Copies of this chain bind each other. A is one copy, B any other.
């Protein structure tokens, strides 16, 4: 591989108590504002959010000796105990995370430590294990499942291990189509570095603008182009990890039968076994063509059949995405098209990129039409493409307006899609109705496989009492429904702490024992991300 070492500029900070670029934060679109009372009833004005400078947090629990020990590894300016840094690393970007950021008292890590490279990460873990300090690996800060909660477990303090300095294209093999990226490289930086060589990674989750390569791997992310390029799991061909008890460097071959694929032990490990420092990924030439096409179906069921046909016959779109009737109506409301022909039925967006576009589109279009779809041109697909990373900004505006908005997702086999969709919808509706709110539940399918698909739900409600308490109860009800109805507890958001109590029902007691055994071996003092994925009790 040619040595590349491309580096990128320091990253921009996200809005501390919301999503993304503070300059982009915006009011609700007029059409949405008009629609909300119709959908949700009376909207309750929320409490005024706290300012960053007014947040109260405990003094850092690190001892002076702890701070010296970390400083010896990473250097003086790389151990940050300032209030602002601690508040900025206090959690991820789930709606409960954002609601917690609106409170005066906040729980934060005791310091942020910023290693420069793999060896410094390993050395920080070693110091933390020796001193009994918990470590929360921190990439883009976009977790929506509580993976960044600053829990210290049985330790006296907890640091946030921010990987933003581990950035760059470390190696590029343009013959084999592989690149090694430092784990802290963000989505846009990775694409910029690769595009200089004519390549694309092509992983575009909604968190793309802030999330990191290491985070994609640790959380088993799946992006909008998954129909074309697969989920992030399938893009990873190798991985380098620092653990408290040794390094591991895996993935010397595109296919292997050399024992179990241990790369897969770290994909989805969410920092509980070690810290991913480098990821080797499959890349492809930047596609020269892109074709967009929207389709309208009479209803979700017929459109889901169409997506199934496309998934099972293969070789089709790069992106395919189906909004159910509720989401189709509201998405169009956003762009001011209420009442137009397209607001009924279920909308499907398709995007084709790369080679063989004409044949692939012809094959997929024939299947979509045969299942009852009617092509509706580029319009809705273009709108989706323009706004595809902006959903979280809308959520901030909704929260500011007093509307609770959250998303959750699962996946199942095609045969079980109707059952699971109905069960989750019912759990959401009933749970929120029981609290006195009138909810609006939308769903889309955005990741398809030959054997099944994901279901992604968005719920809106004007919650009358404490939204965090109400949501905790509703979310538990939804998770129970997912498990009872054959879904996975997460298709691409991961487990974190929010889903951990349900994981054992999915993988069984033996499955949890396997995870706990690996953790005890690699992290015997249990410093890494206590309570994420599996309960800290299981690892003693």
Residues of chain A at the chain B interface (Cβ within 8 Å): 1, 173, 175-178, 219-222, 231, 233, 237, 243, 245-250, 252-262, 264-270, 282, 284, 308, 312-315, 355-356, 359-360, 363, 410-416, 447, 449-454, 486-495, 499, 503, 506-511, 513-518, 520-522, 533-534
Instruction: For A489, list chain B residues within 8 Å (CB).
Output: 258
Known contacts A220-B256, A248-B514, A253-B411; 5 additional CB pairs below 8 A are A254-B413, A254-B451, A255-B447, A255-B449, A256-B411
CA of A147 to CA of B412 in the docked complex: distance in angstroms? 35
Q: Which 5 A-B pairs have the closest CB atoms?
A: A253-B488, A517-B521, A254-B449, A254-B452, A220-B257
Instruction: For A237, list chain B residues within 8 Å (CB).
Output: 451
Most buried by B among A1, A245, A256, A414: A256
- Find A250's partner among B493, B511, B515, B533 (CB 8 Å cutoff): B511
Give the residue name and chain of the B residue nearest to A483 (CB).
B252
CA of A490 to CA of B255 in the docked complex: distance in angstroms? 9
Q: Would you list 20 pairs from A and B whose C-beta atoms are within 8 A, ordered by A residue? A: A1-B415, A176-B415, A176-B452, A246-B510, A247-B510, A253-B452, A254-B453, A256-B490, A257-B488, A257-B491, A258-B490, A259-B270, A260-B266, A261-B264, A313-B355, A315-B356, A356-B363, A513-B522, A514-B518, A517-B517
Rounded to whole Å, the gap between the CB of A15 and the closest CB of chain B is 25
Instruction: For A416, list chain B residues within 8 Å (CB).
Output: 176
Rounded to whole Å, the gap between the CB of A332 and the closest CB of chain B is 28
Q: Are B503 and A259 in contact (CB under 8 A)?
A: yes
Instruction: For A265, list chain B residues within 8 Å (CB).
Output: 260, 264-265, 514
- Find A253's partner among B245, B487, B517 (CB 8 Å cutoff): B487
Q: Are A177 and B451 in contact (CB under 8 A)?
A: yes
- Find A252's partner among B454, B487, B510 (CB 8 Å cutoff): B487
Q: Are A415 and B268 in contact (CB under 8 A)?
A: no
Instruction: For A510, list chain B residues within 8 Å (CB).
Output: 243, 245-248, 522
Rounded to whole Å, the gap between the CB of A206 and the closest CB of chain B is 14
Number of copies: 2
Instruction: For A491, list chain B residues within 8 Å (CB).
Output: 253, 255-257
Q: Are B175 and A415 in contact (CB under 8 A)?
A: yes
Instruction: For A221, list chain B residues within 8 Å (CB).
Output: 257
CA of A262 to CA of B450 in the docked complex: distance in angstroms? 20
Instruction: For A249, list chain B residues within 8 Å (CB).
Output: 508
Q: Are A520 and B517 in contact (CB under 8 A)?
A: yes
Q: Are B511 and A248 in contact (CB under 8 A)?
A: yes
- Find A178's partner among B451, B492, B522 (CB 8 Å cutoff): B451
CA of A282 to CA of B451 in the docked complex: distance in angstroms? 7
CA of A492 to CA of B250 in the docked complex: distance in angstroms? 17
CA of A359 to CA of B515 in the docked complex: distance in angstroms? 45
Asked whether A254 and B411 contact (CB < 8 A) given A259-B533, A356-B315, the answer is yes
Q: Are B515 and A259 in contact (CB under 8 A)?
A: yes
Instruction: For A261, list chain B residues within 8 Å (CB).
Output: 220, 233, 264, 267-268
Rounded to whole Å, the gap between the CB of A229 and the closest CB of chain B is 10
CA of A206 to CA of B433 in the docked complex: distance in angstroms? 59
Give the residue name and chain of the B residue nearest to A506 (CB).
B258
Asked whether A269 and B260 contact (CB < 8 A) given A176-B413, A253-B487, A450-B177, the answer is yes
CA of A514 to CA of B266 in the docked complex: distance in angstroms? 11
Instruction: For A488, list chain B residues within 8 Å (CB).
Output: 252-253, 255-258
Instruction: For A248, list chain B residues within 8 Å (CB).
Output: 507-508, 510-511, 514
Instruction: For A262, list chain B residues within 8 Å (CB).
Output: 507, 511, 514-515
- Find A508's partner among B1, B231, B247, B533 (CB 8 Å cutoff): B247
CA of A248 to CA of B509 in the docked complex: distance in angstroms? 8
Give the residue name and chain of the B residue nearest to A493 (CB).
B257
Asked whether A450 and B355 contact (CB < 8 A) given A510-B248, A533-B259, the answer is no
- Find A259's partner among B233, B312, B507 (CB 8 Å cutoff): B507
- Find A454's partner among B255, B360, B411 (CB 8 Å cutoff): B255
Q: Are A312 and B177 in contact (CB under 8 A)?
A: yes
Asked whether A257 and B414 contact (CB < 8 A) given A284-B312, A355-B314, the answer is no
Instruction: For A233, list chain B residues within 8 Å (CB).
Output: 261
- Find A495's partner among B258, B268, B511 (CB 8 Å cutoff): B258
Asked whether A415 and B173 contact (CB < 8 A) given A282-B450, A514-B521, A521-B513, the answer is yes
Rounded to whole Å, the gap between the CB of A167 and the closest CB of chain B is 23
CA of A219 to CA of B258 in the docked complex: distance in angstroms? 9
Rounded to whole Å, the gap between the CB of A249 and the closest CB of chain B is 6
Instruction: For A521, list chain B residues within 8 Å (CB).
Output: 513-514, 516-517
Rounded to whole Å, the gap between the CB of A168 and the closest CB of chain B is 20
Instruction: For A257, list chain B residues within 8 Å (CB).
Output: 219-222, 268, 488, 490-495
Rounded to whole Å, the gap between the CB of A518 and the closest CB of chain B is 6
